[in-house]
Structure 1
């Protein structure tokens, strides 16, 4: 079977059923939906699958804090996400739940296959245990210090430092998240997946993997380092029971991606299909994910599939990160936009946000959302360019030609522009570049406005009716092309344009090449109406005020908590810290990391290599020659395989690193007292 004839399965990273949907989620789901709709316009028949990620310790912790059960909590947010996706026009063929019996069965089946092949083995390990709560502390039940970079960390991930996945028992200075007590360690038997056995396979697999380069390159950097075997069991009651051991459940990052398979099974049962067509035979599997879960989808997941004999992914498409009003996205700080409360319930149309998410920047780059920019894009691009052109074409034709498509030939220039826009759309889909997709279509709208204005049909209506009709016929053809091209991005709004053009069927089912099929002369147009409405300044002000109030309230709350937790230390403790001034001599990014820079700094008579998590806020070339402040006697640590001998000091301001620097130029090595 030729690659172009393979069955296509598109999945999205599963939303975690532990809190409401924000626009950071939509950075994955909207582009994936655009991609699927675009494939259909190419004559393909993709299957689009997703579902709720329903297991893991955060859900158990949250349920306990709320006085409910994990089952009830998951049911609440599963329905919430299903509703949000429906309202945002993200149309999955099946939206499942990893706690469904089918996923429990498929997970156990896959794990048993790995065990039979010798890829899963038992091992005794040290696990955090809270004597006060009398319970084991898996994953998010424990907090402490990252053993690799020294940053505060969660039990399963260094979320504030190097970003490294942490195995059970690795975290230093463990504290119980439930009661705050100091935790100890106990020896227990758990089960490991032999990830290290797949190093050579993963190098070859990743070099051929399609999708976005940020996913592929990041994963390759990890694989080229030493891969550690992966503990795949946890001490929890909530989750998929590990085969033969009901006291253990499989780790959430085992059963969550297996949901892609079990959801396909569930769809197949309802649609009289065959899940093995996608997961046991040659197929094209495309995963759309957030940039923070590349490691799991490009390393753990393909190794599991390979070991158990399933079809491997063809592409992994990873989105860039999100900022809110130029601030690092943070729910705890209020830098968040909730899809229902802040957007849909304010009466804003889903297609406007879909367009913003697609057109703001490249899919792999950082996206900034602000209400001001949002309004500017809606008013300038959707109202002023696209909506204005379609309305002028339909309204002027209806007024002067009795709501009928005039006769005449298509202008070769118009045909060429439509052909170019179609080619651009097809190329953009292949490259997973949704900004390129939206920009190409908007360029056609801009051309349409220039074409209408330069041919002056309002003058031709009085002097040359035949020529006027020909001009308007070409304008209507451009409008038809725009409805087709923009339909994957703004489905409902383009159906409105389609109806106004009086066309048969729907814009959703029209294929890209149908944009070149001439409209029939004499076809009756629909009733002209404005597709988009301007967002006025007062609404922007109201939305910005809601945002500012949320941030202020959380900052005030955080300040009070910070004061309560501040504790005094002895002067002797401070004296143990060797804090000195330094000068940056070299700076460069660390391959595979979005956060880290490698610095060579001069501290007195010696030069040190220091790894700093400031790549998102500082360019390497801007750091060279700068006076900085470092902690010089920190234990050496390896981050991304690079040794760091010291720590650069910076203030954490709204998620951005603000470097501490001397008031005046100070000789490197000067001690801070």
Structure 2
């Protein structure tokens, strides 16, 4: 509609990618291209694609700054759509937790320099202490004070130069961080400003000085209202719904800009540090609800990763160190170390799917009953419902992680893990399971050069398994450059040429 209104038939893409050849003179200035990518895409976006552009006769816009992230993992394992491990979009909606609470936690722990583990216990603690106990507390106590003691009118008072000197210095720091896409550090700096103001409120005790030294109370509340205004402006890119809601209490809104859309009026980044323009506070409400332990544990069980308790109280210092160690990110071994680690610790086996049904409490999980050669029914769950039909799995001799510790998934115990590969089919995500149709159930899958029946642990944690990476190289399944074999035959994929196995 905007193109038609401006009498154009198409968007001038050259203004972004070939500004020197753009038909509009105003677009000939240099475009600064920022890219936000995962760490596994760094070589392509920093070497391969730029070299391709340099080999072209055109002066294409090239990478100006790259912001990459490490992996976001789940509890003590990895997020995996194919295995149904983790919390995804529909799951997040199902929890009833507000979108901005999710956004808060992800940005607060954005894995910019190392992998990060999403943990329900940590989510609960960070939301309750920082989002609600810090930012939410400052907003609620300040605005309620205005409504209760000043009839909703923000008292007039001089600017607190000492407070604003520190606030403006930190706001400048946030601005500089965001200019270089340091999103996590900038987010933490904003919360630091909120923390300073909370402490100032507590030390000033306005509930006392309101009657004994009213000018002091008025100055505090007046200045805190404007700091809150600034906090909401800076927080808006992170938590748009919450910040707009808070600004509506002041009768204001924050300007939101979109490419190709006419910008609406409102407060913007240039409004930071301004101590004027606010007059009153309307009726407020508590926006975020604290998460109690019972709720946290229920979510942890429902969207279960590893269910080991990492927060046992009154345990010995040694046990505490073990518990804290589990909270650290999973560290993948160097490629040349992975084969030896696999041979000493991980047991893979061929198992036949003899029956299959859906988990009644999940729209993603299959419950597969397997013959693993032991003569005992084995149950493994996999998140393959969105990708494969029951008859595409039934009767197949698949590859499983045999000594993976049992865990519950949506109320049903799962003993082991079925290995699968992700690939693209007609532009959509697809999954194929690893199979060995020539090998009978119970056959051990080993690395080339190894022998069967090596002494390995009876059980391993998921974190141990994910210290190695299983990949397809020209359809052959390998670990650290060594091929996986069953009955001396290479395990291979049908569709996944080069990719990861999960």
Structure 1 length-normalised TM: 0.43
Query: Is 2:34 aligned against 1:278?
Result: no
With over 3 angstroms needed to count, the CA separation of the structure-2 counterparts of 1:304 and 1:487, relative to structure 1, is same
Equivalent residue number for residue 363 of structure 1: 112
> Is the CA contact 1:328–1:656 (under 8 Å) kept in the aligned structure 2?
no
Equivalent residue number for residue 474 of structure 1: 223
2:45 to 297, 300, 318: 297
Equivalent residue number for residue 567 of structure 1: 440
Equivalent residue number for residue 83 of structure 2: 333
Equivalent residue number for residue 168 of structure 2: 419
Distance 1:546 1:531 in 2: 25
Equivalent residue number for residue 511 of structure 1: 268
Distance 2:69 2:447 in 1: 42
Deviates more, 1:405-414 or 1:310-319: 310-319
Shift in Å at residue 638 of structure 1? 13
Query: Is 2:397 aligned against 1:397?
Result: no
Equivalent residue number for residue 307 of structure 1: 55
Equivalent residue number for residue 534 of structure 1: 290
Partner deviation per Cα, 1:338-395 (whole Å, 9 max, x = no partner): 112x102332211111111111144242122122221221111111110111111111
2:35 to 266, 287, 305: 287
Question: Residues 241-256 of structure 1 correspond to what in structure 2 (within 5 A)?
Answer: none
1:324 to 74, 77, 92: 74
With over 3 angstroms needed to count, the CA separation of the structure-2 counterparts of 1:323 and 1:430, relative to structure 1, is same
1:516 is paired with a residue of what secondary structure?
Answer: coil
Shift in Å at residue 441 of structure 1? 0.6
With over 3 angstroms needed to count, the CA separation of the structure-2 counterparts of 1:271 and 1:425, relative to structure 1, is farther
1:532 is paired with a residue of what secondary structure?
Answer: coil
Higher helix proportion (structure 1 or 2) = 1
Partner deviation per Cα, 1:96-125 (whole Å, 9 max, x = no partner): xxxxxxxxxxxxxxxxxxxxxxxxxxxxxx
Query: Is 2:251 aligned against 1:502?
Result: yes
The answer for unaligned runs of 5 or more in structure 1 is: 1-93, 95-264, 582-613, 619-636, 648-654, 658-673
2:73 is paired with a residue of what secondary structure?
Answer: strand
Partner deviation per Cα, 1:570-592 (whole Å, 9 max, x = no partner): 99x9997479x9xxxxxxxxxxx
With over 3 angstroms needed to count, the CA separation of the structure-2 counterparts of 1:510 and 1:274, relative to structure 1, is same
Query: Is 2:157 aligned against 1:408?
Result: yes
The answer for unaligned runs of 5 or more in structure 2 is: 20-29, 258-265, 306-361, 369-378, 383-395, 401-434, 455-463, 469-477, 485-499
Question: Residues 59-138 of structure 1 correspond to what in structure 2 (within 5 A)?
Answer: none
Shift in Å at residue 474 of structure 1? 1.6
Distance 2:38 2:110 in 1: 15
Partner deviation per Cα, 1:35-62 (whole Å, 9 max, x = no partner): xxxxxxxxxxxxxxxxxxxxxxxxxxxx
Distance 1:441 1:545 in 2: 33
> Is the CA contact 1:498–1:507 (under 8 Å) kept in the aligned structure 2?
no
Distance 2:31 2:267 in 1: 25
1:457 to 195, 206, 215: 206
Distance 1:535 1:332 in 2: 29
Distance 2:163 2:466 in 1: 44
Distance 2:296 2:47 in 1: 43
Structure 2 length-normalised TM: 0.57
Work out the number of aligned pairs and report it.
331
Question: Residues 473-622 of structure 1 correspond to what in structure 2 (within 5 A)?
Answer: 473-503=222-252, 506=255, 509-520=266-277, 523-548=279-304, 553=367, 556-557=380-381, 561-562=398-399, 567=440, 577=450, 617=467
Distance 2:210 2:243 in 1: 28
